[in-house]
């Protein structure tokens, strides 16, 4: 079955630690999880966790997921010649949490030596409408052809950038190297809301139906950390992927 679950980013507004977020998601019906470090500060916290005794219990919870992904930092910094050694730390974390995929935002890579540090687990995410680069199939295809890395497809980014026809065409053109699919939705108060709270469900589903059966990560911010609310979001998507 297609693994489906949450990013730890859903608990960010509730200020949960990584350990608590992972343990919470483990209590839902999720079969996949993305550990997401937004900033370098969050990366340091995650690094401290995996090297502490607290990681023992977290690791046991992680073991229940069929698919684990790691989203590397994207906020408040760029990858340049001064910090490429961060990639060693990122790979180390990915090894420790047993991540099959490492997600990068391609728009923050400013030094081409970056590509020497990454391995076959690296995937680049399609960017949203607000970004100048890497929201179109052509530029992502160029990255894939140059480095062989895969694509994490964010359906909400696709929806806000293209018409439905063009979004579906994007998926047809990139489907062979899509590694993971991010699902959320849009409403008046959020550009990454719960799918179940969104006003563009039909379009997101029309895009999802075009996608290969790759692991799904739900990234819409929930209204609470209630297990039933989270399971409801999961079940809604499961209905359409069964």
Q: Where do contacts with Zn ion occur on this chain (CB under 5 A)? A: 125
Virtual torsion, Cα 202, 207, 210, 215, nearest 10 deg:
-110
Nearest distance from C-beta of residue 57 to Zn ion, angstroms: 27
Which of 154/197 has CB closer to Zn ion? 154
Which of 58/102 has CB closer to Zn ion? 102
Nearest distance from C-beta of residue 94 to Zn ion, angstroms: 15
Which of 178/231 has CB closer to Zn ion? 178
- Structure token pair of residue 43: 């990366």
Rounded Cα–Cα distance for residues 42 and 116 (Å): 24
Nearest distance from C-beta of residue 88 to Zn ion, angstroms: 21
Virtual torsion, Cα 92, 93, 98, 101, nearest 10 deg:
-90
Nearest distance from C-beta of residue 102 to Zn ion, angstroms: 11
Nearest distance from C-beta of residue 104 to Zn ion, angstroms: 8
Nearest to 219, CA basis, from 2, 1, 52, 8: 8
Nearest distance from C-beta of residue 149 to Zn ion, angstroms: 15
Nearest distance from C-beta of residue 177 to Zn ion, angstroms: 17
Residue 193, phi then psi, degrees to nearest 5: -95, 175
Which of 13/202 has CB closer to Zn ion? 13
Which of 101/200 has CB closer to Zn ion? 101
With b for 16 or more beta-carbon neighbours within 10 A and e for fewer, the 122-155 pattern comes to bbbbbbbeeeeebbebebbeebbeeeebbbbbbb
Which of 107/125 has CB closer to Zn ion? 125
Residue with structure tokens 């563009």?
A: 200
Which of 38/54 has CB closer to Zn ion? 38
Nearest to 8, CA basis, from 107, 97, 78: 97
Burial of 164 (0-12, 13-18, 19+ CB in 10 A): middle
Angle between helices 55-62 and 18-27 (to 10 degrees): 30
Rounded Cα–Cα distance for residues 223 and 200 (Å): 18
Closest residue to Zn ion: CB criterion: 125
């Amino acid at each position: 079955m297609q693994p489906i679950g949450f990013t730890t980013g859903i608990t960010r507004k509730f200020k949960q630690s990584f350990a608590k977020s992972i343990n919470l998601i483990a209590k839902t019906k999720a079969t996949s999880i993305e550990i997401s470090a937004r900033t370098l500060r969050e990366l340091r916290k995650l690094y401290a966790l995996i090297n502490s005794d607290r990681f023992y219990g977290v690791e046991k919870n992680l073991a229940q997921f069929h698919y684990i992904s790691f989203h590397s930092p994207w906020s408040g910094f760029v990858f340049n010649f001064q910090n490429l050694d961060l990639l060693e730390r990122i790979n180390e974390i990915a090894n420790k949490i047993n991540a099959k995929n490492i997600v990068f935002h391609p728009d923050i890579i400013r030094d081409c030596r970056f590509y020497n540090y990454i391995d076959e687990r690296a995937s680049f995410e399609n960017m949203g409408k607000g970004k100048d680069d890497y929201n179109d199939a052509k530029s992502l295809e160029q990255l894939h052809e140059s480095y062989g890395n895969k694509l994490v497809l964010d359906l909400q980014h696709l929806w806000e950038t293209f018409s439905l026809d063009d979004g579906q065409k994007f998926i047809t053109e990139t489907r062979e190297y899509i590694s993971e699919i991010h699902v959320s939705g849009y409403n008046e108060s959020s550009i990454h809301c719960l799918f179940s709270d969104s006003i563009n469900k039909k379009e997101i589903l029309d895009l999802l139906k075009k996608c290969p059966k790759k692991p799904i990560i739900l990234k819409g911010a929930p209204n609470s950390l209630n297990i039933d609310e989270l399971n409801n979001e999961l079940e809604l998507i499961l209905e359409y992927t069964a």
